Structure 1
Amino acid sequence: MRVRFKPLLLLVFFLITLLSPADAQQRSSRTRKPKTKAQLEREKRENLNRIQEANRILEQTKQQKEASLGQLNALKEKITVQKKVINNISSEINFIESDVKQTETVVGNMQTDLQKLKAEYATMIYGASKTANSYNKLMFLFAAESFNQFIRRLTYLRQYSESRKRQVKEISRVTTNLGQKITVLTRQKKQKTNLLNAQLNENRNLLTLKGQQDNVVQQLSQKEKELREEVNRRQAAVRKLDNVIANMVREEIARAARLAKSRAAAEGGTAAPISANKVSLTPETALLSSNFGGNKGRFSWPVERGFISQRFGVHPHPVLRNVSTRNNGIDIQTNAGESVRSIFTGIVRAVLEVPPYHTVVMIQHGEYFTTFTKLKSASVSEGQKVDAKEVIGTVYTNPDGTTELHFEIWRNTTKLNPETWLLNR
């Protein structure tokens, strides 16, 4: 007997395997903890501050009459943050809508309870009216057939009177709480209206920004020849800087190897095998290197204000088609005259001029190297020890008004993505 269903089973197994990662991702997104209202408000404040920073940087680039890539990058940053602000407001509106629904439910339930309480109280009043005078009460008591029944009727009259008083207090309490809830509901609805108006204004701002972006792209597109020449110059400069940094790293590796060899000779021992691609670490520098690596994702930015205008790796050109550029670090666009700071304790290994990157400062942290490029000036010298957040210079401002720091991190001879080492913004 021939088995014909085996290919079908293989196809089913393949589909299950193919769909499993997506299903896992969906399950992960469903189980992700939602943000609180306080977190959303904090994020909105942070994003609004980022927009203000981008505005200041954009105004500096606008001082030049002609459109520039720096101006385009600042507009892109504003658009990115603007979208986050809009999404943030949408989440706040969802929170408010949920609160409004809950409050409306509570108000409805309290109104129903109040109606029931009033109806019960009306019944009690009607019953009490039948024994409103002392004669009726006495007749009710002395009509008892026994002394025990007399006591029970007396107790009933007292409890009935106390029950009416409690009912009055309960009606008063529910009425007060209902008024408070209605006030809360009115405030929540007003907040929702304000948020909807804010969202509408932010959407208008987003449309304006996109129009400005399109205008700048159109202006830059008319200078295609100049842009292509600039790309070629930039890529040549990237290769030149890469070679300079690589040579400095190799020199430091060789210097550390010589020190290790001479130290071993002085101690009468034999130096450990030395790698041509790794820094020979002493116990002190090994600890420094370990501390640097252990702080990944927690380093302060090399400038206090700014945004990443160009990221690590290969990316398409923002204007030219079919053109890509490589970045061995990140570029941070910031304000004119912004101070540059070391991100960690280390030793300054080089301060030199590398046209067109102007002043370059390289700091060693054990087997890690941080390089700061496009500095107008440096306030440190070779061999100097620096601490975290210590100012090492100021950023250079281009003729087009763009102030941009180029920042790289290397581990021995390997280039790393600096963005993953810095605090999120």
Structure 2
Amino acid sequence: MKLNKVLLLLLFLLSASVVFGQSSAELKRKKEAIQREIDLLQKNANKAAKNKKLTLSQINALNAKIRLMQSKISVINSEMKNLDNQIHENTNVVHNLKGQLGQLKKEYASMIRFAQRNRNSYDKMMFIFAAKDFNQAYKRIKYLQQFGQYRKKQADYIQGKQKDLNYKIVILDKSLKEKSNLLHEQEQEKSKLGKNKSEQSQVLNKFSKEEKQYRQDIATRKKIAAQLDRNIRAAIAREIEKARREAEEERLAAERAAAAKAKAENKPAPATAAPKAKTSSGYLTATPEAARLSSQFESNRGSLPWPVATGSIIERFGRHMEGQASYTNDGVNIETSEGAAVRAVFNGKVTTVMEQYGRYFVLIKHGEYFTVYQNLKSVNVSKDQEVTTKQTIGTVGNTEGTPQLQFQIRRGMSAQNPEAWIAK
């Protein structure tokens, strides 16, 4: 029973250590990914610092970097919590193993004392010959054999327990050192965060002093964004109208074919029901291929690849306030590396490639869904071209001195939050 309890305890601790190892590895990967984003933003910030004029992109990048630093500190806290749990578990195991080892050594000592008292063959022979009958003598012989085997097993078991204890002590020491390193890393990150918050305060102070100029910048930006938005909506409206016409033509062709068949068979022409009004989604998914593509796109919600290989979201979806001025972002702004390749996030068909304000935007149709890639310096796809997931469609351009992509996802005309669709 004792052996079974020990085995169950060791099995539980082994499974717990596996779970810990997985979560610890995931946290480390997450921390490394966050650090890569921070490094990218810092690299771009160093380049942009050469331009003495403060830009909205720099403010957004600084705010994004602070958010990332706070996320990294949160991940470090989770790592330390995991380590604390592991240290607590291993401390209990060490105490348990020490107790078991002490008990085993006591039992083994008793066996040794018994063996010492019966150490010569004469005593063993007397023990056997003192039996009442042959059956009892045989049992005594078997008992002596089994006692010797058990003593050997106990010695091996004690050695195994000692190895387990030494191993757990090594793991415990390693965990304590790792926790010490994490505490040091946490202090460093808090110090960096403090410096960046101080920089943020200075930037916002400068912004408030020059708010008039920034309001003009925001007004210009809103004007450009509004024009781009009109172009995007017009392009989507053309696709919906095109799908409507094709569906109508298909319906009329089916009616003509039915009427011709009835005439050939000398039958009255079939009555034609008034077509039901369709939504834009209904037209965009009228064909089986389009419906399947829409379904596949939806099933990948939360796991679509990013439109750039490396990057950080510096401006999120929705309404934003800058001082007294406000504007709406129908997508997300992703800061990336200089000359980064822009990739299609899913299989689809290029419906629009348009140049405006010295930059391109590409619209790709995925059934009833559309993805929009703005601020491209160059493009290497053309209208009506079929593209596949992660296929390069162009290179990113600069906005206010930093390489940025404005990325949107739309369901028909309705803008979606891309952060809910792309992989975390």
TM, length-normalised to structure 2: 0.77
| Number of the residue aligned with 2:46 | 59
1:301 pairs with 2:302: no
| Map 1:8-407 → 2, pairs under 5 A | 36-130=23-117, 144=130, 146=132, 164-266=151-253, 268=256, 272=275, 280-281=283-284, 282-283=286-287, 284-317=289-322, 320=323, 322-355=324-357, 358-398=359-399, 400-407=400-407
Distance of 2:139 and 2:278 partners within structure 1: 102
Distance of 1:354 and 1:367 partners within structure 2: 25
Q: How far did residue 349 of structure 1 move?
A: 2.9
- 3-state secondary structure, aligned to 1:397: strand
Q: Deviations over 1:73-119 (max 9, x none)?
A: 22222222222222222222222222222222222222223333333
Structure 1: 5+ residue stretches without partners: 1-32
Contact 2:41 2:335 in 1 (8 A): no
| Number of the residue aligned with 1:17 | none
Letter of the 2:95 counterpart? G
Q: Deviations over 1:48-70 (max 9, x none)?
A: 33333333333332342333222
- 3-state secondary structure, aligned to 2:353: strand
Bigger Cα displacement from structure 2, 249-258 vs 95-104 = 249-258
Q: Deviations over 1:130-188 (max 9, x none)?
A: 5556666677777x485567777766666665555444444433333322322222222
- 3-state secondary structure, aligned to 1:81: helix
| Number of the residue aligned with 1:3 | none
- 3-state secondary structure, aligned to 1:36: helix
Q: Deviations over 1:31-55 (max 9, x none)?
A: xx99833322332232233333333
Structure 2: 5+ residue stretches without partners: 1-18, 258-271
Q: How far did residue 406 of structure 1 move?
A: 1.8
Distance of 2:139 and 2:283 partners within structure 1: 99
Q: Deviations over 1:270-292 (max 9, x none)?
A: 79456585673452444444443
- Structure 1 residues 183 and 408 mapped into 2: Cα distance closer, same or farther (>3 Å)? closer
- Structure 1 residues 252 and 164 mapped into 2: Cα distance closer, same or farther (>3 Å)? closer
Letter of the 1:107 counterpart? V
Contact 1:61 1:70 in 2 (8 A): no
- Structure 1 residues 238 and 112 mapped into 2: Cα distance closer, same or farther (>3 Å)? same
- 3-state secondary structure, aligned to 1:280: helix
Distance of 2:299 and 2:157 partners within structure 1: 62
Bigger Cα displacement from structure 2, 165-174 vs 267-276 = 267-276
Q: How far did residue 227 of structure 1 move?
A: 0.8
- Percent identical residues: 36
Distance of 1:368 and 1:128 partners within structure 2: 84
- 3-state secondary structure, aligned to 1:93: helix
Distance of 2:131 and 2:336 partners within structure 1: 98
Contact 2:342 2:394 in 1 (8 A): yes
- Structure 1 residues 131 and 326 mapped into 2: Cα distance closer, same or farther (>3 Å)? closer
Q: Deviations over 1:286-311 (max 9, x none)?
A: 44444434433332222222122222
| Number of the residue aligned with 1:8 | none
Letter of the 2:283 counterpart? S
Letter of the 2:197 counterpart? K
Q: How far did residue 226 of structure 1 move?
A: 0.9
Q: Deviations over 1:210-231 (max 9, x none)?
A: 2332233233333211111112
- 3-state secondary structure, aligned to 2:195: helix
Distance of 1:232 and 1:80 partners within structure 2: 26
Letter of the 1:308 counterpart? I
Letter of the 2:313 counterpart? I
Letter of the 1:359 counterpart? Y
| Number of the residue aligned with 2:414 | 414
Contact 1:252 1:279 in 2 (8 A): no
Letter of the 2:409 counterpart? I
* Backbone CA RMSD of aligned residues: 3.4
- Structure 1 residues 150 and 54 mapped into 2: Cα distance closer, same or farther (>3 Å)? same
Letter of the 1:313 counterpart? G
- 3-state secondary structure, aligned to 2:398: coil
Contact 1:63 1:401 in 2 (8 A): no
Letter of the 2:84 counterpart? E
Distance of 1:208 and 1:224 partners within structure 2: 24
| Number of the residue aligned with 2:12 | none
Paired residues, what number?
386
- 3-state secondary structure, aligned to 2:233: helix
